[in-house]
Chains A and B, each alone.
Chain A
Amino acid sequence: MSTRPVTRLDARFAACAREGRAALVTFVTAGDPGYDASLAILKALPGAGADVIELGVPFTDPMADGPAIQAAGLRALKAGQTLAKTLAMVRAFREGDTTTPIVLMGYYNPVYIYGVDRFLADAKAAGVDGLIVVDLPPEEDRELCLPALDAGLAFIRLATPTTDDKRLPAVLANTAGFVYYVSITGITGSATPDPSVVGAAVARIKQHTDLPVAVGFGVKTPEHAAAIAGGADGVVVGSALVDAIRASLDAEDRATPATVPAVTALVSALAQAVRGVRRAAAE
């Protein structure tokens, strides 16, 4: 074990491992379809079975995202979401939940414009646990990754099918919390990963790190989630939840009474599926 303090992320993944199961990591876009509805969704996620929350930071040009998350970001921006409001949302969530880890996921420019040092201080104070910034590979670690680690925030790296054994050590070098394995070459919510291939890839990554490995991109249904959960420490579901939100909106893209239940119903089904798969408690 490392000497760094046990964080909410470490504690949560360790607890799931003790239960002999994978963690369910849920992604929603902050501010989709509006601030209040989004905060209500956020607050309902842990009770429905989400172990870790990824909160998408909207950006006009989400180059790694498919149509579902692109549209969610645009809905949030249209409703007036900003990075400052996203941090406020995390603060509001923390008033009622001090244990569920929250990871902000997005692109670098909004953070860069907010100011890296100011952002890290505000995010830490708000109760953010980690960051996933899609367009910051290890080659750009000086930008945000190293300052984030200094500030006590985990910088969670994406490993992909194109990340070979030669490159893996560099990708894993300054990461913490968990490793996010992108199960396909492609954008979010597109192809469906093959569980056996994913299991082998996770095993390969685990030869290089003690960190938990969560798998995402393309996991859409409880059945997919269960199939992936057998070979990973966490399963990430995003586009399917965002689609459930979209399907619950009215003609003007506003939340309806069906919005929060649509998300919690899917999260409950996913949680049940993930919890139904027993894993060897080998951590």
Chain B
Amino acid sequence: MNAVNAPNSFRTGPDESGHFGIFGGRFVAETLMPLILDLEAAYKAAKADPAYREEMDAGLKHYVGRPSPLYFAERLTEHFGGAKIYLKREELNHTGSHKVNNVLGQILLARRMGKQRIIAETGAGQHGVATATLCARYGLKCVVYMGAVDVARQAPNVFRMKMLGAEVVPVQAGAKTLKDAMNEALRDWVTNVHDTFYCIGTVAGPHPYPAMVRDFQSIIGTETRAQMQEAEGRLPDSLIACIGGGSNAMGLFHPFLDDPSVAIYGVEAAGHGIPTGQHAASITGGRPGVLHGNRTYLLMDDDGQIIEAHSISAGLDYPGIGPEHSWLHDVGRVQYLSATDEEALEAFQLLSKLEGIIPALEPAHALARVAELAPKLPKDHLMVVSLSGRGDKDIPQVAEILGSRL
């Protein structure tokens, strides 16, 4: 990082108009603009209200089951023979991933705003399940948009959402994955502006979503800080997390951005490999553009048409990334790496066998890069991996791929 150009703090963004450097912003249709301004005002008021904080804290403790453990992965550490690896166990949260942290915050906000109908987009289904869960808990109507391809490859989560009382709408447009689900959710929102709250699942979309979702997910990093202090008496030396939109990563990273001793790695999905063009690595293989309400790194062609992403992981299968990540990349605070489908599958199996933890395919991408980084680091290097979700949902898909190999 160039010290001359480095800001005094990496934690002050976004500015009042929702920008992180050139990234972020509010690129939405006029119909939605008043809603987004209302949401911003409501969130600002909620943040200042101790009653909202208390409600959040109680929900995180008693319903979500926080704090999630920071677990020393002893056998994984021995296996790699280098850095001491800790797993931040977000997969142990209620609903099986970090997604619930954000959804709790947004649903409590929707209740404060008097909204009765909640819509969400989902890729792997983890955000959809978390949203359906909290809508059931608070008696709200829930509609989840999911690409038809994802509906097919994430069947267990589709069933869970339906069990929880949500309506799951398979989206047939485009490549029928997460991007198309988000388009359809935005079309629903623009149509049902009066009673509907759009619960976005990641640190993307128009301001204030990227900042708001980051705030809700920052509990991951805040807990990690305290837990590492308790376990080792100091800060970790490195953090690593997978990135689709990037909410688990931003949640882990944000509380550490101003600690220069902490190296930070985000891992994008390289699909069949970056050179093949069939990947979901927006930063590694894309460039800045405007989609879904924000400016950020996107996969696109020379005419500015968005290219379909590819990843084995439905949760990473998105041609964009949260705008704050784009900024952290440009200023050099976070290093963005990538892992292929094949590497993620290997890591998926390795963690299952060595630690008795079946990870989701999403964090398996982060684990794949740990396999490369950890062996080269000294044994007193403390590395934290965000284990953002559990792999139950991926079992049918992985079984189909590995069926003949096991």
Contact = CB atoms under 8 A, between A and B. Distances in A.
B304 A171 contact: no
B191 A185 contact: yes
Nearest to B17: A139
A135 B31 contact: no
Contacts of A107: 290
Contact of A113 (B26, B192, B194, B289): B289
Interface residues of B, number: 35
B400 interface: no
B365 interface: no
B289 A61 contact: no
A82 B35 CA distance: 33
Interface stretch (B3-11, B132-140, B143-151, B179-187): B179-187
A223 interface: no
A190 to B, nearest CB: 7
Interface stretch (A96-104, A155-163, A246-254, A269-277): A155-163
Contacts of B192: 185
A136 interface: yes
B305 A182 contact: no
A137 to B, nearest CB: 5
A162 B36 CA distance: 11
B346 to A, nearest CB: 33
A211 interface: no
A187 B27 contact: no
B25 interface: yes
B378 interface: no
B293 interface: yes
B190 A186 contact: yes
B110 to A, nearest CB: 18
B30 A108 contact: no
A68 to B, nearest CB: 13
Contacts of B300: 109, 113
Interface string B143-178: 000000000000000000000000000000110000
Q: Is the interface of A mostly helix, strand, loop or mixed?
A: loop
Interface in B281-303: 289-293, 298, 300, 302-303
Interface string B4-28: 0000000000000100000001111
A61 B190 contact: no
Contacts, number: 115
A112 B289 contact: yes
B183 A137 contact: no
B333 to A, nearest CB: 25
Contacts of A58: 305
B304 A137 contact: no
B304 A61 contact: no
A112 B295 CA distance: 10
A84 B31 CA distance: 29
Contacts of B58: none
Q: For chain A, which range describes its interface: under 10, 10 to 19, 20 to 34, or 35 or more residues?
A: 35 or more
A160 B31 contact: yes
Contacts of A77: 305
A164 B34 CA distance: 9
B42 interface: no
Contacts of A111: 304
**Most chain A beta-carbon contacts within 10 A, residue among B174, B291, B302:** B291
B289 A162 contact: no
A198 B204 CA distance: 34
B351 interface: no
B29 interface: yes
A187 B292 CA distance: 15
B306 interface: yes
A63 B186 CA distance: 6
A110 interface: yes
A58 B305 CA distance: 9
Given A61-B174, A63-B186, A182 B31 contact: yes
A60 interface: yes
A167 B31 CA distance: 11
A106 B190 CA distance: 17
B34 A163 contact: yes
A185 B303 contact: no
Contact of A109 (B32, B34, B306): B306
Contacts of A64: 29, 31, 187, 190
B187 A136 contact: no
Interface in B253-307: 289-293, 298, 300, 302-306
B399 interface: no
B33 interface: yes
A137 B30 contact: yes
Contacts of A48: none
A31 B150 CA distance: 31
B18 to A, nearest CB: 8
B191 A186 contact: yes
Contacts of B305: 58-60, 77, 110
15 contacts: A60-B174, A63-B190, A64-B187, A83-B304, A107-B290, A109-B298, A109-B304, A112-B304, A113-B304, A162-B193, A163-B30, A185-B190, A185-B191, A186-B31, A191-B191
Given A167-B33, A185-B193, 18 more contacts: A63-B186, A63-B190, A63-B292, A83-B303, A84-B303, A108-B27, A110-B305, A113-B289, A114-B303, A139-B33, A140-B26, A159-B30, A160-B31, A163-B34, A167-B34, A185-B191, A186-B190, A186-B191
Interface of A: 58-64, 66, 70, 77, 82-84, 107-114, 134-140, 157-164, 167, 171, 182, 185-187, 190-191
Closest CB pairs A-B (n = 4): A113-B304, A110-B304, A186-B191, A160-B31
